[in-house]
Amino acid sequence: MRYFVAVAEELHFGRAAQRLAMAQPPLSRAIQQLERRLGVVLLHRTSRAIGLTEAGSVLLREARLALEAVEAAERRTRRAAPDHPGMVLAAKAGASSELLSKLLHAYAAEPDAVAVEVMLCAPGQPETLLRTGHADVALLHRPWDATAGFDTEDLCTEQQVVVLPSGHPLATRAYVPMAEVKTLTNLPLPRWPGPDGSYPAGPGPKVRDHTQLFQLIALGLACALVPESLRAQLRDDHAIVPVPDAPAVTTVIAWPPHSRSKAVAHLVHTATRL
């Protein structure tokens, strides 16, 4: 599968062989053997070019997922060794700060607690780190993060508020409907990067973290919908107004369903107890 992915991505046997640090003839034979084993043609071959068949496109997608799963299993296996005690917790930087602090403090007081490495990262990355085995457990936020394929426990649910520059005409309102927030053309909603690092199309500014976002809001260049718990991070040049019809945000603790880590189990138990 590694050989096939290399050829399918390079669409050139010579470049794929160089990437794999091997000779081209055994690489070609391996792909032919794979086609015979599956009973399908994976590559269109001509004297001038290589292309993927429909079956090849399907295998490329499935092979990437399979290889990611193998690599994730390798990482988790290494961390489960007795000489590598501890676990990795991934969380979005700036989100659930108070909850995360209480969780780490309470878990550290447990008699069987192990070292917890905290990875604070950009939106969308905790989910990816958990799926790829770089993290053992993660704090995720529905509806923004996908939790399918994980075991989860809900920790808290909160409403969203809109953050505005202080002095904005809406700042004195008791609440703002979601539809009105979306029509603030002079204060567009920000654009966050996806898991692949690319930004969606739209008029809003590109942001990477909450520090950058809140500075843009204070400058009158954006507004933002955020969970109410982020109120503590705001400054005097910000105003917040509830948005009752915005989707509620649920913070969950998530871990792979096949995990047998006692440390993860104890951390989850501590989180649900809190």
Residue 22 has what pLDDT? 92
CA atoms within 13 A on the CB side of 124: 11
Kindly state the helix (H) or strand (E) to which residue 146 belongs, with its residue range: none
3-state SS record for 73-112: HHHHHHHCCCCCCCEEEEEECCCCHHHHHHHHHHHHCCCC
User: Which residue type sits at 4?
Assistant: F
Token output for 106: 């309470």
**How confident is the model over 247-257, as a mean pLDDT?**
94
pTM: 0.70
Residue 245 has what pLDDT? 93
Mean pLDDT of the chain: 89
Residue 46 has what pLDDT? 83
Determine which of 11-15, 73-77, 159-163 has the lowest per-residue pLDDT on average. Answer: 73-77
- Alpha helix stretches (DSSP H) within 21-53: 24-38
**How confident is the model over 89-100, as a mean pLDDT?**
88
Residue 273 has what pLDDT? 92
Residue 83 has what pLDDT? 61
Residue 187 has pLDDT above 80, yes or no: yes
Residue 133 has what pLDDT? 85
